Structure 1
């Protein structure tokens, strides 16, 4: 029982460290826009002399225009659509509290950051702001963007709130488990295991809402404002994997700490039955 309890408390302590590391770092989600920038630079440096004729693929006679969704976008799109290269995509890392430019990925941004004209990191906003909505858009698209902003904000709040609750519950369970070991109280050790499982549940909710929030941001309408080009690589960073590792250790710690008192109760019941049998004999 002591080995199971000590192992559970050690795993819970390690999970607190991993979750704290994940919360305090900014590598939950990463993007790499170097290929996209190189392609746009080559496109911008194409020949424009009078003797050279450039034919765009968008003007070919056999190319059909994709149909717009009747539910989310206007059936009469704007005549001028912003091209991919007209927007500036940066290589960034995003955490729960900040969004930062990746160091060494863009020399132009590094020069601006060195001169103090550009901030390396900007805080993630957990409140609604109408300034995030682009101007000069149709009314139906503006209404859709406003609703999506509220939904994305709700997912961000759930992610930060539940992972904070998870760390608090696991820390409280670890204190209860240490006191239970010191006082040899089996009930306190069992309660510590239940608290670990409860903290793991909160952590699962937080990580699932984080993944849902990222997928929702990539699928928002209009796509030319919120989607990413195909040549921009993106994915989860090591902070996300650190949080998943803390979740696994938390669930394992809860299993061990709830198993130890049950083993002890079964052993005591078996010993008491043997004593009674010997007394009858």
Structure 2
């Protein structure tokens, strides 16, 4: 059945194209922090989601029955427990003087949420790079145009202690270091297995083409087995990628690595290209292994049957 073998090889070639697109693009995982940024820029920074109960008690320290009022640097009174931070997430104790700022400088805003003290950007990330999304943050775009911030940063596949937060207790630092090693191993497994999958599928496609040219059923059968093996490696790669993303979101401490609930995040179209390539690879492996068995059964049926005693 050369038709089935040819269809399997065409599907394998399409699977290679989808996997190549997934490897060369950065839209595996996407985040959208526009809603969170707009909420934190509002005075008070409270969430107004339906059903969300806001408990500001942890932000209002007790002062022995006396109500003390804080004042900003410009002399304006602030509510107790309210932090004065800038757009870039700088606390009130920074050296920037807001009394003598110009009109173009970022204005301070009030925030009651502890997540508003951190800077969240809308990003897209792949196997090799993590980039800022274009048109999602005007302040970041201005810094990128000025050359102060890079549009994309490479994904690390080696361990370095410079990425660890400072001024943390020893036990917390040890936990973060162990989690960093675990996340690094997951990233290495993702990149390694998808590279193996592409290599095995390409090798199987070459063997399948030679089998079709020489009408060799055994070569087509081996090509189908290689396609199934490449699909297995692709399954392992995608599963470790999903596990790595979930592990990054659940790392300890949550205040450093977690995402607020109003930040949209999910898988991008590069991930779906990889899943599509996986499906086509498994289908091509099924067709290429099925074709030799059908051709063998047809040849056995059409073989003439010898009579008893005939020479």
TM-score range, shorter chain: 0.7 to 0.9
* Equivalence for 2:63: none
With the length of structure 2 as denominator, give the TM-score of the two structures. Answer: 0.78
Give the aligned partner of residue 34 of structure 1. Answer: 34
The alpha-carbon distance between structure 1 residues 176 and 51, as it changes in their structure 2 partners (threshold 3 A), is: closer
Distance change in 2, residues 1:189/1:279 (3 Å) = farther
Which SS does the other structure have where 2:16 is aligned? Answer: helix
Aligned match for 2:305, one of 255, 276, 281 = 276
Counterpart of 1:113 in structure 2 is 144
- Larger radius of gyration between Structure 1 and Structure 2: 2
**Higher normalized contact order (CA 8 Å, seq sep 6+, divided by chain length):** 1
Q: In the TM superposition, what whole-angstrom CA distance separates every residue of 1:96-143 from its partner, at most 9, and x where no partner exists?
A: 000000000000111111111111000001000001111111111111
Is it true that 1:243 corresponds to 2:274 in the alignment? yes
Any idea what SS the aligned residue of 1:99 has?
strand
In 1, distance between residues paired with 2:216 and 2:42?
70
**Could you tell me how far apart the structure 2 residues matched to 1:278 and 1:232 are?**
79
Q: Pick one of 87, 97, 108 that aligns with 2:128.
A: 97
Contact kept? 2:39, 2:45, Cα under 8 Å: no
Residue 55 of structure 1 deviates from its aligned partner by 6.2
Change in 2 beyond 3 A, CA 1:279/1:16: farther
Alpha-carbon shift at residue 279 of structure 1 (Å):
7.2
Give the equivalent residue in structure 2 for 1:153. 184
The match for 1:230 is 261
Mark the CA change 1:15 to 1:279 in structure 2 (over 3 Å): closer, same or farther: farther
Distance 1:51 1:111, change over 3 A: closer
CA displacement, residues 209-259 of structure 1 (integer Å, 9 cap, x when unaligned): 000000000000000000000110000000000000000000000000000
Structure 2 CA distance for aligned equivalents of residues 279 and 268 of structure 1? 21
**Alpha carbons of 1:279 and 1:106: their partners in 2 closer, same or farther (altered >3 Å)?**
farther
- With over 3 angstroms needed to count, the CA separation of the structure-2 counterparts of 1:95 and 1:280, relative to structure 1, is farther
Measured in 1, the distance between the counterparts of 2:45 and 2:258 equals 25
Matching residue of 2:19? 19
Residue 69 of structure 1 is matched in structure 2 by none
Indicate the residue corresponding to 1:8 in structure 2.
8
**Which structure has the highest helix share of the two?**
1
- Describe the shift of the 1:51–1:141 C-alpha distance in structure 2 as closer, same or farther (beyond 3 A): closer
Superposed CA offset, 1:163-218 (max 9, x none): 00000000000000000000110000000000000000000000000000000000
Aligned residues: 255
**Correspondence 1:196 to 2:227:** yes
Q: Alpha-carbon deviation of 1:53? A: 6.8
Measured in 1, the distance between the counterparts of 2:35 and 2:178 equals: 33
The equivalences for 1:101-180 within 5 A come to: 101-180=132-211
Normalising by the residue count of structure 1, what TM-score does the alignment of the two structures yield?
A: 0.86
